[in-house]
Amino acid sequence: MTFINQLATSEGRSVTLRGWVANKRSSKGLVFIMLRDGSGLCQCVADASNLTQEVFSLADKLTQESSVEIVGTVNRDERQVGGYEIQVSDLRIYQLARDYPITKKAHGIEFLMDNRHLWLRSRRQWAIMRIRNQIIQAIHRFFQERGFVQMDSPIFTGNAAEGTTTLFETDFYDEKAYLAQTGQLYGEAMAMAMGLIYTFGPTFRAEKSKTRRHLSEFWMIEPEMAFYDLDMCMDLIEEFLRYVVEAVLATCPSELELLERDVEKLEHVRKPFARLTYTDAVKIIRGEKDVNGRNSLKTLENDLDELRQRIEDMQAEVEEREAKIKTPGLKKGEINFNLNKIARLKNELKDLEESAKNIPQWLESARAFEHGNDFGGSDETVLTRLFDTPVIVYNWPADIKAFYMKRANDSSFVKGVDVLAPEGYGEIVGGSEREENLELLTQRIQEEGLPMEAFEWYLDLRRYGSVPHSGFGLGLERLVAWICKLPHVRETIPFPRMYGRLFP
Ligand code: 4AD
Ligand code: MG
C-alpha cells in the first residue's frame, strides 16, 4: 500500500492506494475520481477503453465518500493537485456511501458543527489539523531541545487557581473537586524538583458565553522555570513563539496555501516583538501616545473608511457573479464555481459588515478606557493593529490579575505578562513571575477569599527552598487560530467543547 504523499517515489510504477472518494465526475467513457487517503489528494482516472466492463462500472457508480482500493500507474502531471495522476487498472469498493450530507454547496456553520465527525474530512479542516499537529511537534521540540522535562498535572483538582467564576465542579468520591483550569500550581511544585518543566494537557473553564476565542475545554502548554525572573520569562516566550511559527512556515507550506493564509504576515515574527508596560499600552489605546507615528484612534477611523469601501466592492462582485450565472449556456462547472464564490463572498460580507458596525463601538471604548481595567477583546484589537509582531504587555495592575503573581516595585502592580497576537487575535499567552515570599502569598490567598487549607501544599513550596521563578501558559487553540487565520477557535480542535456544544 502506498500513501498519496509518497507518490513521487513511485513515478511510472503501479501502486495500490486506499482511501475515500472526495469527489467524482464522469465524461464519455472516463471517470475522474478525486481520492483522499488522509495524506493527500490525487486524481485517479478510470478509462473504459482499458478496463474490464466490471471494473469500469464499479468506478462509475462510486458516490462521494465511498471507501475504495485503487490500483494504477503513477503519472507525473503538473496540472493536478499534488502533481501526480493515477491511471486506474483495478478498483475495489469497501463500502458504497449513501448520500453524504456535506456536499460542494455552501453549508451553514451550525450544520457543519453538527456534522463535525464528517466535516473533519473536508480539505480545510484537514489542513488545519495537520498544522495543529506540526505546532504540537514544534512545541515539544522547542522545550526538549532546551532541557525542559514534560510533566503532567492532574485534571481533578481541589483548588481554584484562575478565579472561582469559571470552575467546572465535579464529584470526586463525595468530595468536591474541580476540573483543572490550569496546571500551573502543580507545575511550580514540579519545577522545584526538576528545574525546568512544561505541562501540556487539557484545561477546563466554564465560560458561559459564546465568543470566538473561548472553549470550555482547551489545551494549554505551561512551562515553569526555577530561577527565572519576568525578563527571562518574556525572552523565552518570544523565542518560543518565533520558533513555533517558523516551524509551521517550514513544514506546512501547502496547508497554509490551501487555507489562503497570508504567510508574509506570519513572517513578521522574525522581528523583535513589541514590548510595552500595561500603562504605556493604555496610553496607546486611548490615543494619547503614538506608535511609529501611528495613532490608535486615527488608525481605526481609516480602517472604517477602508472597510466601507471593501464592502461596496464586494457587493458589486456578488451582483456581477449573480448576473453571470444567469447567462444562457454557461457550463455547470462554471455555475457551481460562481455559486460557491458567491456563498463565500456573502459570508465574508457578513463578517465585514459586523466589523463595520463594531469599529465605532471600539473607538468609543478605546477613548473611554480607564487605567486599571482589564483589556477587552476590542482593546486588544485596537492595540495590536498598530503592530505587525505579537505584542508583549507586562506590569499589570494587581487588582485584575491572579493571586500568585509577584508584586512589582510599585506594589499596586504585578510582574505579569500577556502576549497579544496581531491581526485581531489578541491574548494567546498569559504568564508571570511568581510570588515566592510566604507571608505575601498567604496574604494574597486570604484577600482572594480562597480556602487556605487547599493551598497548604502550595505554600510548602515557599517554606522549603523558595526561589524566584516564572512561567506562562499558551492556549494551543488560540495559537492555531492565529497561525491559520481562522475566524473562530471552534475549527482548531477536532471536537470542540464550548457553551452550547457537547455533541458530536
Ligand atoms: O491567562 P490564563 O488564564 O493563564 C493561566 O492559566 C496561567 N496559569 C498560565 C501560567 O502562567 N502557567 O490562560 C493562559 C492562556 C490564555 O492566554 C489563552 O491563550 C488560553 O490560555 N485560554 C483559553 N483558550 C481557549 N479558551 C479559553 N476559555 C481560554 N482561557 C484561557
Ligand atoms: Mg490571561
The answer to the question of residue 381 being in a domain is no
- If asked whether residues 256 and 314 sit together in one domain, one would say no
Question: Looking at residue 25, which CATH number applies to its domain?
Answer: 2.40.50.140
- If asked whether residues 171 and 83 sit together in one domain, one would say no
DSSP SS3 for 158: coil
The answer to the question of residue 291 being in a domain is no
* Residue 236, domain extent: 117-270+467-491
pTM score? 0.94
For residues 490 and 207, the answer to whether their CB atoms sit within 8 Å is no
Residue 22 makes CB contacts below 8 A (sequence gap 6+) with: 34, 35, 36, 41, 64, 65, 121, 123
pLDDT of residue 347: 86
pLDDT of residue 351: 86
Element (H, E) at 131: helix 123-145
Rounded Cα distance, 49 and 59, in Å: 13
Domain final residue pick, 343, 358, 373 = 358
Domain final residue pick, 358, 381, 405 = 358
- If asked whether residues 241 and 334 sit together in one domain, one would say no
- If asked whether residues 87 and 151 sit together in one domain, one would say no
427 CA: nearest ligand 1 atom: 17
Rounded Cα distance, 477 and 295, in Å: 31
- If asked whether residues 68 and 130 sit together in one domain, one would say no
Cell 450544520: give the residue.
111
The tens place of each residue's pLDDT in the chain, 504 residues long, gives 999 999 999 999 999 999 999 999 999 899 999 999 999 999 999 999 999 999 999 999 999 999 999 999 999 999 999 999 999 999 999 999 999 999 988 899 999 999 999 999 999 999 999 999 999 999 999 999 999 999 999 999 998 888 888 999 999 999 999 999 999 999 999 999 999 999 999 999 999 989 999 999 999 999 999 999 999 999 999 999 999 999 999 999 999 999 999 999 999 999 999 999 999 999 999 999 999 899 999 999 999 999 999 999 999 999 999 999 999 988 988 898 899 899 889 988 998 998 899 999 999 999 999 999 999 999 999 999 999 999 999 999 999 999 999 999 999 999 999 999 999 899 999 999 999 999 999 999 999 999 999 999 999 999 999 999 999 999 999 999 999 999 999 999 999 999 999 999
478 CA: nearest ligand 1 atom: 19
- If asked whether residues 55 and 172 sit together in one domain, one would say no
- If asked whether residues 125 and 239 sit together in one domain, one would say yes
The answer to the question of residue 288 being in a domain is no
- If asked whether residues 52 and 165 sit together in one domain, one would say no
**Total domains, the chain:** 3
Rounded Cα distance, 26 and 130, in Å: 31
Domain final residue pick, 95, 127, 146 = 95
- If asked whether residues 193 and 252 sit together in one domain, one would say yes
Ligand 2 centroid–CA 396 distance in Å is 11
pLDDT of residue 381: 92
Question: Looking at residue 144, which CATH number applies to its domain?
Answer: 3.30.930.10
Q: Give nearest CA residue, ligand 1 atom 22.
A: 475
- If asked whether residues 70 and 128 sit together in one domain, one would say no
Ligand 2 centroid–CA 473 distance in Å is 8
- If asked whether residues 13 and 137 sit together in one domain, one would say no
Ligand 1 pocket test, pick from 218, 219, 234 with the greatest ligand atom count within 8 Å of Cβ, gives 218
The answer to the question of residue 396 being in a domain is no
The answer to the question of residue 416 being in a domain is no
The answer to the question of residue 15 being in a domain is yes
The answer to the question of residue 190 being in a domain is yes
Q: Give nearest CA residue, ligand 1 atom 1.
A: 430
- If asked whether residues 63 and 128 sit together in one domain, one would say no
The answer to the question of residue 292 being in a domain is no
